[in-house]
Structure 1
Amino acid sequence: MSVLREKLYPKVVSILNSWADALNRKGVTPNQLTIAGVALSFLAGFCFSNSALLVGALFMALGGVCDAVDGPLARLSGKESKFGAFFDSTMDRFADGFLFGGIALHFFNQDEPFWIAVSIGLIIASFGVSYAKARAENFIEKCSVGVFTRETRWAAVGIGILLPFLLKPLLLISFVGSVWTVYQRIMYTKNTLERPASAEADAAL
C-alpha cells in the first residue's frame, strides 16, 4: 500500500497543481473555489435527499475536486493565509453536513430509522473528528492521528453511493471509524499532555 501511495501521490499532486495553475490564470481565488465546493456539496446533498444518488455523486465528486484544489491554488497564487485555512476548514463542516444530511433524508424517505440514526451519527462524529484535532492543537503541536480522516469518509461514502448495495455497510463503517478516530485523538492528546508531567515527576524522584 505504501509503495502504491508513493507512486500515485506525486501524480495526483501534479494533476492538482496543473488544475490550480489553470484556475489561477483565470483569476479564480482560493476562497471562491472553497465556496463553489460547498455549493456543489449542497447540491449533492439535495440530490441524495431525493434519492438521485448518481447525480448527487457527480456533484459530490466536483465538490471534492474543489476542496482538493483550493489549497494548491492558494499556494500557487501566493494567497495562502491563516484566515484561508480557517475559512476552508469551517466550510468543510458545512459540506459534510450537507452531504451526510442528504443521505439521512434519503433514508427518511425510505422509512429506515436505523440508517437515519447512523447518518446523523456520522455527521456528529465527523464534526467530532475535526473539533478534536482543532481543540487539541491549542495544547499540543499536532494531532492528525486516526484511521478515518475526512478524505477517508468521503471516499467510503462515495463508493457507497456509486455501489448502492455497499452504502449501508460503508456508512456504518464510516460512523464507527469516525467515533474511533475521535477516541484516538482524545487519547493521543491526553498521553502527549501527560508525558512531560510524568517526566518531571520521574526527575524529581
Structure 2
Amino acid sequence: MMPALARVRQAYEQITLPLGRICMRMGLTANMLTYLSLALSILAGYLIAQALFWWGVVGILLVGLADVLDGATARAARTAGPYGTVLDHVTDRYAEFFILGGVMLSGAVAPIWVLFALFGMIMASYVRARAESTGMIASCNVGFAGRQEKLALLILGLLAQPLLPQIRILEWAVIAVGIASHITAAQRLDYTRRKLTAADASPDPPTKSGLAG
C-alpha cells in the first residue's frame, strides 16, 4: 500500500515543473533551496518552541514550499542526481528533528511522546533507505503514511492546540504521528522481506536500483 499523497506524485511533478523553471531564471539551484528548507525548519521549530503554534504552521508550510521548489528546480534544470537525493533526505530528517524538538520545548506535549514519534519517523525512513540500498527493491515507498501525511497530522494538532489547550490536541496528534510511523516502518520491513524472499527464490538476477531515502 502506497501512502495516499505519493499516488499523485506524477501529476504533482508536472504541475510544479514551471515553478522550477522560474527558480532557474532567478539563479536558484536545487541544493540552495534544500538548504533554505533546512533553515526554515529551524525557524519553524523555534516558533513552535515559543508556543507560537500558528506561526509555526506557517514555517512548516514554507518548509514544504521550499521542498517542492528544490525538486521542481532539479527536474527543470535536469540536475537531479544521487547526491541531491541523499542531501534532500538528510535535510528532511533534520527538519523533522527541529520541528518535533520545538514541539517538545513548547511544553504542550510530554517529551516521551515526542521521542516516540521522532523515533518512528526516523525508523520508517531508515527501513526504506536500507531496503532500497540492497539494489533489489526499486522503491520501498509503501506503508500507512508517508512524510507528508504525518506532517499534515502535526499541522492539524498545531492549529487546534491554541483553540482547545485543555484537550491537549497537539499531544494526541504527536501520538498519532508516532503510531502511524511505527506501523509504516513495520509495513516496509514486511514488504522488504517479501520482495527479498521472492528474489532469492527467483532464478532471474535482481534489477539494479538507484539511491533511496
The answer to whether the superposition gives a TM-score over 0.5 is yes
Aligned-CA RMSD value: 2.2
Q: CA deviation at 1:195?
A: 2.2
Asked if residue 179 in structure 1 is aligned to residue 174 in structure 2, the reply is no
Asked if residue 152 in structure 1 is aligned to residue 155 in structure 2, the reply is no
> Runs of 5+ in structure 2 lacking a partner?
204-213
**Whose Rg is larger?**
1
Count of residue correspondences: 190
TM-score for both structures, normalised by structure 2 = 0.81
Contact 1:44-1:59 within 8 A present in 2 as well: yes
Instruction: Describe the SS at the equivalent of 1:51.
Output: coil
Question: Which digits, 9 at most, give the CA deviation of each residue in 1:122-150, with x for residues without a partner?
Answer: 11111111110000112232211111211
* CA distance in 2 between partners of 1:9 and 1:123 (Å): 25
* CA distance in 1 between partners of 2:21 and 2:142 (Å): 31
> Runs of 5+ in structure 1 lacking a partner?
201-205
Match of 2:114 among 115, 119, 124: 119
- Higher relative contact order, structure no. (Cα contacts within 8 Å, ≥ 6 residues apart): 2
- Give 4+ residue runs of structure 1 displaced > 6 Å after superposition: 8-11
Q: CA deviation at 1:196?
A: 3.8
Evaluate the alpha carbon distance shift between residue 9 and residue 125 of structure 1 in structure 2; reply closer, same or farther with a 3 A threshold: closer
Contact 1:54-1:162 within 8 A present in 2 as well: yes
Contact 2:54-2:159 within 8 A present in 1 as well: yes
Percent identity over paired residues:
27
Q: CA deviation at 1:9?
A: 6.9
The corresponding residue for 2:69 is 69
Asked if residue 80 in structure 1 is aligned to residue 76 in structure 2, the reply is no
Q: CA deviation at 1:102?
A: 0.8
Contact 1:145-1:185 within 8 A present in 2 as well: yes
Question: Which digits, 9 at most, give the CA deviation of each residue in 1:83-125, with x for residues without a partner?
Answer: 1111111111111110111111112xx5x5xx32111211111
Write the letter of the residue equivalent to 1:168. E
Question: Which digits, 9 at most, give the CA deviation of each residue in 1:15-46, with x for residues without a partner?
Answer: 52232222111010000000000100110001
* CA distance in 2 between partners of 1:147 and 1:73 (Å): 29
Q: CA deviation at 1:190?
A: 1.3
Contact 1:20-1:73 within 8 A present in 2 as well: yes
Please list, as runs of the form range in 1=range in 2, the aligned pairs for 1:123-202 lying within 5 A after superposition: 123-139=118-134, 140-141=136-137, 142-164=139-161, 165=164, 166-198=169-201
Please list, as runs of the form range in 1=range in 2, the aligned pairs for 1:18-97 lying within 5 A after superposition: 18-97=18-97
Contact 1:146-1:185 within 8 A present in 2 as well: yes
Instruction: Describe the SS at the equivalent of 1:79.
Output: coil
Question: Which digits, 9 at most, give the CA deviation of each residue in 1:160-202, with x for residues without a partner?
Answer: 11222442222111110100111111111112222244567xx
Write the letter of the residue equivalent to 1:186. L
* CA distance in 2 between partners of 1:55 and 1:41 (Å): 12
